[in-house]
Amino acid sequence: MASLELKNVVKRYKSQTVLDNLSLSVADGETLVLFGPSGAGKTVLLRMIAGVIDPDEGKI
């Protein structure tokens, strides 16, 4: 069983889709690394995982 699971997560701001249909699971003991260019959605993803913002679709 995953300690963190995202299913079909979507986040949009106005007309821009920041995260589109993201699904992933991270099991106990695993390490997840997020990297990418500015504007790729890394901070948005972390804020959703922390519960600061809600996804427009999907679930965490």
pLDDT in tens, 27-58: 999 999 999 999 999 999 999 999 999 999 99
N-to-C CA span, the chain: 14
Angle at 20 between CA 52 and CA 45, to 5 degrees: 25
pLDDT at 13: 93
CATH topology of domain 2-59: Rossmann fold (3.40.50)
The number of beta carbons lying within 10 Å of the beta carbon of residue 38 is 6
pLDDT in tens, 3-31: 999 999 999 999 999 999 999 999 999 99
pLDDT at 26: 95
Angle at 24 between CA 19 and CA 22, to 5 degrees: 20
Which pair of structure tokens corresponds to residue 33?
């690394």
The number of beta carbons lying within 10 Å of the beta carbon of residue 30 is 10
